[in-house]
Structure 1
Amino acid sequence: MNVFVAAMQLSVAGAFVSIPVVRARFGATATAAAQAELSRQGVRTTVLEENGMRFDAGGHETWAPVSIATVLAATAALNLIGNSMAELFSWIVLGLVVAINCVILHSNLTATTSVQAAFARKGDPELTRIDVAALLKAAESGFPRWVWVLQNARHVIVFGAAALALTTLALA
């Protein structure tokens, strides 16, 4: 049981690490595509950087998934060595990971409206005139088409592996 739960935790950790890896590899291309779209819209191309919007692996796009993966790996290690606290930590960590992934999925599904609302809150008139849907579509074009498949597979792995691990713990 412990080895299976640890394997599921490591699968989820790998899924989380895929985010900054893809952004590190293709983020510059996505940023360039977004800047080209801003230029097409007649908006200064530095406005995203000035307001903290990134498509690369900087900031929370790296530290958050890497931190989550690290905690999952540590919990998996506790399972593998048979630590008495492994089960409790597994319940807590996997429960939090499922909740976090729900937030990520919601963010992915509502990206346009979320970015529009964030831009409106900034109070920069240049941000409010951006066609956000076109901007995000342009940035998305900077990533290879298979990234969409990876993104969805990542959600399946996170939810599926967490569910399998939690079910295993519940039945143990």
Structure 2
Amino acid sequence: MNAFVTALQLSVAAAFVSIPVVRARFGATATAAARAELDRQGVRTTVLEENGMRFDAGGHETWAPVAIASAVGATAALGLAGVAWAGTASWIVLGLVLAINLVILYSNLTATSSVRAAFARKGDPELARIDVAALLKAAESGFPRWVWVLQNARHVVVFGAAALALITPALG
């Protein structure tokens, strides 16, 4: 049972690590495509960096998924080591992972409106005139098509494996 739950936890950790790996590999291409779209729109291409918008593996796009994967990996190690409170730690960590993944899924689904709203809050007229949907579509074109499949598979793995890792001990 511990090995099965550990395997589930490690699959959740791997799913989170896939985010910075993909962004590290293809983020520069996505950024270049986004900059080209801004240039096409007549907007200064530095506006992304000036406003903290990234498509690469920098910043929170790396430290957050790596921290989550590390926390999940640590609870898996505690379970394998037979630490008495490993189950409680797993419940806490995996519960948080499920909540965090819901936020990630929501942000993926509402990216255009969220970016538009964030740009509006800045009060910069140049940001307000950006066609955000075109900008995000251009950035997305910098990633291979299979990344969309990976992104959705990642959600399935995180939600499914985390939920199964939480309920399996109760069934045993």
Shorter-chain TM band = over 0.9
Runs (5+) with no aligned partner, structure 1:
none
What's the counterpart of residue 165 of structure 2? 165
Q: State how 1:18-97 maps to structure 2 within 5 Å.
A: 18-97=18-97
Q: C-alpha distance in 2, partners of 1:2/1:118?
A: 44
Matched residues in 2 for 1:75 and 1:30: separation? 34
User: Quick one: which amino acid aligns to residue 72 of structure 1?
Assistant: V
What residue ranges of structure 2 are gaps of 5+ in the alignment? none
Q: TM-score, normalised by structure 2?
A: 0.99
Secondary structure of 1:61's aligned partner: helix
How many residues matched?
Answer: 172
1:132-155 Cα deviation digits (max 9, x unpaired): 000000000000000000000000
Instruction: Percent identity, please.
Output: 83
- Taking the aligned partners of 2:125 and 2:170, their CA distance within structure 1 comes to 53
C-alpha distance in 1 between matches for 2:170 and 2:39: 54
How far, CA to CA, are the matches of 1:141 and 1:132 in structure 2? 14
- 1:3 Cα deviation (Å)? 1.3
Q: CA RMSD in A?
A: 0.6
Relative to the length of structure 1, the TM-score reads: 0.99
